[in-house]
Structure 1
Amino acid sequence: MKLIFLSLILFSFPLFANAEEKSKEMCECLNKSKSSNSAKDKKRCLTLREKHVKALKKGSDAYSQYLEKLGQCEREMVGNGEIKDNLSFEEKVKEVCDCFSLAPKGQKMACFQKQSQYGKTFAEDQKRIEFNQITNSCDK
């Protein structure tokens, strides 16, 4: 029994390390693509993403970790950074509405992501629904 448990730990650790390495590699690719604005670099990132999805096996724990790290990278790239859980309801609304009002046209995806992340911080369904209704009106 101990041998099986030890084997699972040893075999799963490289997968998680692998997921972190792959997310760093992808983040570097996205940063390079963003700064160069080259179609060739963007295509390279798409190809890399397909390779990572195949290697990590979509739906696995390693793949979930990869997506989480990649999401953090993307938030940092667009200036959203970390989501602040300690903000009041009104402050979270203000953050999302400010994002929508300041985002250049066609680049509001980061604001929708911020809205989603802040929405997940509410334990009460009614608060989450209210938050989404108020912040949806900001994107007009």
Structure 2
Amino acid sequence: MKKITILWILILIPYFVFANAEKKSKEMCDCLKEAKISQTENDKKECLNLREKHVKALKKGSKQHEGYLKSLSSCEQELAGVPQVDPNLTTEEKTKVVCDCMKNASKQNRMGCFKLQSDYAKTISDMEEKKAFNLNSQTCGE
């Protein structure tokens, strides 16, 4: 009986740990959305304080923290108007998405386009194809 209880605890701990990180990233995303809408300094400060609280609770550098950052990155891309990565696109389609992002992004949002370019490059396993993608997607932003 004791072994079964310990087994259940070991099985459920990762679930609650990652659920906690997911919950915190959603909370942070909601805060960022609210701050973007309101544009008030108090809302922006509240988000900074919330992020500090989350980083402290999730222990910076831990797997929980990494999961939190990954989920949060997706939210930040959405807020910046940068499309989500679709690994099923062809290399030409990926290049077009990156180029469209660069063309339509304001100076402030261009960093999101560079991240999009990097994320798409990671989805290409063939080294020659990846080189071509990097060259083509770099030149469209100029």
Tell me if TM exceeds 0.5.
yes
Tell me which residue corresponds to 2:84: 82
Amino acid at match of 1:19: A
Give 1:14 shift: 1.6
Identity percentage of aligned residues: 48
Query: Does the Cα contact within 8 Å between 2:117 and 2:137 map onto a contact in 1?
Result: yes
Larger fraction in helix: 2
Q: In the alignment, is the contact (CA less than 8 A) between 2:22 and 2:71 conserved in 1?
A: yes
Task: Tell me which residue corresponds to 2:72.
Answer: 70
| Residues 30-57 of structure 1: CA deviation (Å, up to 9, x unaligned) | 1011111222222211111111111111
Aligned residue number for residue 40 of structure 1: 42
Residues 1-140 of structure 1 correspond to what in structure 2 (within 5 A)? 3-140=5-142
| Contact 1:56-1:63 at 8 Å conserved across structures | yes
- Normalising by structure 1, report the TM-score: 0.88
Inter-partner Cα distance in structure 2 for 1:14 and 1:5: 15
Q: Give me the TM-score of the superposition, normalised by structure 2.
A: 0.87
After TM superposition, give the deviation of residue 70 of structure 1 in Å: 1.0
**C-alpha displacement at 1:4, in angstroms?**
4.1
Kept in 1: contact 2:21–2:64 (CA 8 A): yes
Could you list the per-position Cα deviations for residues 80-116 of structure 1 after superposition, in whole angstroms to 9, with x for gaps in the alignment? 3431122111111111011111111222122112111
| Cα root mean square deviation, aligned | 1.8
Indicate if the aligned counterparts of 1:75 and 1:81 stay in contact, CA closer than 8 A. Answer: yes
Q: How far does residue 3 in structure 1 lie from its aligned partner after superposition?
A: 4.7
Count of residues in Structure 1 that have an aligned counterpart in Structure 2? 140
- 1:87 is paired with a residue whose SS is coil
Structure 2 unaligned residues grouped into runs of 5+: none
CA distance in 1, matches of 2:56, 2:125: 35
Whole-Å separation in 2 of the counterparts to 1:20 and 1:42: 21
